[in-house]
A and B are shown apart, each in its own frame.
Chain A
Amino acid sequence: MAHAACSGKGCRVLVLDDEPLILLDLEFAVEDAGCVPLTALELSEALAIAEGESIVAAILDVSLSHGQTCAPVAKALAERGVPYVLHTGDLDRMDEAVRNLGGVLVPKPTPAAVVVSRALEGIAHCQQA
């Protein structure tokens, strides 16, 4: 079920999570879906990718370490028209912030393959037109 939308090879997908093991799992799942994962363990890495790379979708962990959230990345992506899913185990507390970010909500824990397929849902054709 992971091999949902992205049949085109080489689509780049940004994955942000401050937990390395979750990031690793998502990286594999993005590869399994036939895309190229660009991973970020912290906000600055994610911002650099969002602003410097050509990506088709993103998976964003909402609450990051040091009290940071993914909001700046979400904003940068929204400006570029890149769809993203918000992957969070913190829905109770982040409610307000998350709502303001828009994007598709995927609660943690959700199997990585499902997270990736939700992220790729919005992009029916990513064969790099």
Chain B
Amino acid sequence: MVLRHAHKKVGNKSLSSDRADQAPGRADDASTTGQTSEEQGVEHHDAGGAGQSRVRPRSSQSGGYDDSAERFIANHPDDAFIGASGVLFEQAMAQTRMAVCLCDPHAPDAPIVFVNRAFRWLTGYEESDIIGRNCRFLQGPGTDRDAVARIRHAVDHEDVVVVELLNYRKDGTAFWNALHLGPIYDAQGRLIYYFGSQWDVSDVRAARADERHARELARELSHRMKNMFAVIGGIVNFTGRSHGIESEAREINDRIQALGRAYETTLDEASSGSIEVGQAIRSVLSPYDPEGRRIRFKGNGLRSDFSAVSVLGLSLHELAVNAAKHGALSHDDGRVTVAWQKNGSSDAPTIVIDWIEEGGPAVMPDASEAQAPAGSIVDRMLQMARGNIMRDWHPDGLRARLRVPLREDAV
């Protein structure tokens, strides 16, 4: 906003021709001359020793009228903003919570010639501390030199740049400054100022770091959980082996590993407390279709709370085992379609999963009874979850419909 008004400014600024041709001042680079390094050294000393911290709480930024823009205009009569532009400039400067400064690129070392109140509150410096100094006085030991170099490059090329860099307040505390810097031209297209807007993004950066940490934690957890399931699998296997019951052990292990796969997908979003049903289904069934050709998945991003994982995962595992032994997955041409959706009334929502086998061996109604005895483990599990399974034996394969109550309150 401010910039646009500044652009419209009809300037009478009397730039002498030699000044106009002069290269823009270097607004930011502490290492260019010995003099500036020394100056920076003094800043740190001040910041550490003075003990006169005057950082005002940011919550009080709404109080009082900031007349710094008026005073700036009074002191720079040649730069007078005319009419509405001037009023808008003053009001915008007074009211914005964005810290703003203007630097004079034609004066030696490009000093700051204007700052608004938000700038003073952000940095803790008084106006008299700031005016006449180069912006680099906000830098300190933790300031990334690459960020400073990018600022320097933008200034040298009269570019606009947005850089996040570590700056320091008068009391020595550091903050992450999202600095937006660019040239301002007069009506004749001559460079007259550099503006800089500063925004404290320390909180944003802390949140980003927290998020990264949480992601790393989730990955570590995922790794450990997979390892744990692998260890459990190992124990079941060699226990079965030592008792001569390898096939029983394998059946137990297959179920445990199916459970592991179902849980594994929940970890990435562990904090959300809910799981994406489709991901768990795909993961459980993946070993039965290593090439991804025979099982078709149809569903949207249906979510459920965590408790549905175990029963759904194990039920689908059992259906897949049966299909691989007797059903569609026992034939090369066989296919299975798994579709999931939300159904039921709004006060009793249900997860409905359709399991449709096609292209398998012809189903004998008599044999089908034997394949799915009433009270099979799938029926028992689903009943325990207050759900059920309906089986329909078509000539080309089993069609089953599983239902379990959908609990979404955790979402």
Contacts and interface: CB of A to CB of B under 8 A. Distances in A.
Nearest to B254: A111
Interface string B226-270: 110111011101100100000000100110010010000000000
B230 A63 contact: no
Given A109-B260, A111-B254, A28 B237 contact: yes
Nearest to A89: B226
A79 interface: no
Contacts of B237: 25, 28-29, 111-112
Contacts of A19: 227, 230-231
A100 B409 CA distance: 43
A112 B234 contact: yes
Contact of B234 (A25, A89, A92, A93): A25
A92 B241 contact: no
A93 B219 contact: yes
A29 B231 CA distance: 14
A89 B238 contact: no
Interface in A74-129: 89-90, 92-93, 107-112
Query: How big is the B interface, by class?
Result: 20 to 34
Contacts of B260: 109
Given A21-B231, A24-B234, A89 B223 contact: yes
Nearest to A94: B223
Nearest to B286: A107
Interface in A20-62: 21-22, 24-26, 28-29
Query: How big is the A interface, by class?
Result: 10 to 19
Among B226, B229, B257, max chain A CB count under 10 A is at B226
B340 to A, nearest CB: 24
B222 interface: yes
Interface in B205-225: 219, 222-223
A28 B219 contact: no
Contacts of B227: 19, 22, 89, 108
Nearest to A17: B230
Given A108-B230, A111-B254, A93 B238 contact: no
B222 A109 contact: no
Interface of B: 219, 222-223, 226-227, 229-231, 233-235, 237-238, 241, 250, 253-254, 257, 260, 287
Given A19-B230, A108-B230, 12 more contacts: A19-B227, A21-B234, A25-B237, A26-B234, A28-B237, A89-B222, A90-B219, A108-B227, A111-B237, A111-B253, A111-B254, A112-B234
